[in-house]
Amino acid sequence: MAVKPETPARYLPQERKRLILNMLVQHGRAAVSDISSELAVSEMTIRRDLAELEAEGKLSRVHGGAVLIETVNQPIMEPVPAHFDARLSFNRENKMRIARQAAEMASRYQTVALDIGTTTLFMAEELVKHNRLKIFTNSVRVAHTLGRHPQAPEVYLAGGIMRDDEMAIVGPSAIEQFQPFWFDIAFISASGITTQGIYDGALDESEMKRVLIRRSGYKVLLCDSSKFQNMSLVHVAQLQDIDMLITDHEPPLVLATALTLANVEVVIAS
């Protein structure tokens, strides 16, 4: 008995456009013939999709295919990280806007994980009046900021080795202490974000970030626009591993497209 050939998958127009954009995010450009072959639809259909996506401002058509509008905006490697105090003053107003937006969101939950970083430190200053919260962190600075206020939330600080400049608690014992917990929400910092995910410059701090991401119901990345399209030493997580990005400006189109494809909500702090 003859076996019928397998019927190619059929995609709805919006799903097809999403797959086209995903191909462009991954490769920067794509030929009509390659897209047609990949999605098993006619080249005429693909050209129509590309025309509609161009009208929406998502891409630019070129001879035989399409490119993302901002393919020139390639990721760059982060320079040597500045000391904490220097980072605290850099982009300060924008970081404080992000921190206020994040603190307002955190106040709706009960168990909150706070990563190390300048923006999470500003966020801690906004959380001192929310005494019903339970805050879990590996940042000595965050714990100290909250601990100075008698009506502040309960603070749970991981124990382990402290990195001097960052005042971050790292190492196997810190990981082991937080690994069994389940947090309502986690606020994560990063050295950079690209279409490939989020990055950090420190090996030992990155593993704690992964723990907070794995052990939280909702994951929020706090990242000011100076870190867009910046890479660093350690790839911490994929974009789809986070649920929301709170930032100060709209991401560039190539990154915004990748965030949309990963179902990451982008919130611009007002």
**Could you read off the pLDDT of 192-202 as tens digits, one per residue?**
999 889 999 88
| Burial of residue 68, with CB atoms counted within 10 A of its CB: 0-12 exposed, 13-18 middle, 19 or more buried | buried
Q: How confident is the model at residue 242 (pLDDT cuts 50, 70, 90)?
A: very high
What pLDDT is recorded for position 5? 44
- Please name the fold of domain 76-268: Rossmann fold (3.40.50)
> Domain boundaries in the chain?
13-67, 76-268
Across 58-62, 115-119, 180-184, 257-261, least confident range: 58-62
pLDDT digits (tens, 9 = 90+) for 139-162: 999 999 998 888 889 999 999 999
List beta partners, residue 136: 113, 156
28-37, 60-69, 240-249: the lowest-pLDDT one: 60-69
Whether the per-residue pLDDT at 2 is higher than 70: the answer is no
State which H helix or E strand residue 220 sits in: strand 216-222
Residue 82, pLDDT > 80, answer no
Q: How confident is the model at residue 67 (pLDDT cuts 50, 70, 90)?
A: confident
Please name the fold of domain 13-67.
Arc Repressor Mutant, subunit A (1.10.10)
Task: Work out the percent of the chain whose per-residue pLDDT is above 90.
Answer: 59
Q: Using an 8 Å Cβ cutoff, are 146 and 128 in contact?
A: yes
Q: At residue 4, does pLDDT exceed 50? A: no
